[in-house]
Amino acid sequence: MENQKNMVAEKLIYDIAKQRFLAHFPSILPIEQAYVHIGMFLGWMLENDLYSEEFEEEESLQILRFKQREITCSILSAMWDGYLDEELFSKKGNDFLQYYYQSGKYRQDYQNTLVNGLNSMHQVADTWENYEKIAEVVSQKFKNWEKKQAK
């Protein structure tokens, strides 16, 4: 029985904003900026209904508030302490996260789409205009990924 307790699997965590506070986060920026890139991805996942049933049960109001543009990406991410973990997403959502986010492809697209001319990815403004730009890129990557999965 003791071995069964020790065999509990740890959940997969894709990103944690707090790690950025302690690492390469520019001290001149407000802490909220560490949540922007995570929040933009989380927001896209919510808008595309790739969240888990548990997340929906727990956070249906926040999902609705985000979809109605009542809360921004950084606020959405901060509500979850800047975590992206497997418990938040459906199986399809996790499969896409592993392919796209965990592999670094999202970060590369984020850099190419929003960071040009800035000193750091943490300087990207948390605006709906920026969200729409990266959401368009992520949507295209998702469509391409789905086509590959269908084969």
In this prediction, what percent of the chain has a pLDDT beyond 90? 56
Residue with tokens 């900026």: 33
Burial class, 72, CB count within 10 angstroms (exposed 0-12 / middle 13-18 / buried 19+): buried
Q: In the structure encoding, which two tokens stand for residue 46, read together?
A: 């919510």
pLDDT for 85 equals 86
What would the pLDDT profile of 8-30 be if each residue is shown by its tens digit? 346 777 776 766 555 566 677 77
Indicate the residue type of 123. Q
pLDDT at 22: 52
| 70 has a pLDDT exceeding 90 | yes
- Residue 15 backbone phi and psi in degrees, to 5: -160, 150
The pLDDT value recorded for residue 26 is 64
Greater confidence (95 vs 121) lies with 95
CB-based contact 42:36 (threshold 8 Å): no
Read off the tokens for 32. Answer: 């909220």
Residue 109 near residue 138, CB atoms below 8 Å: yes
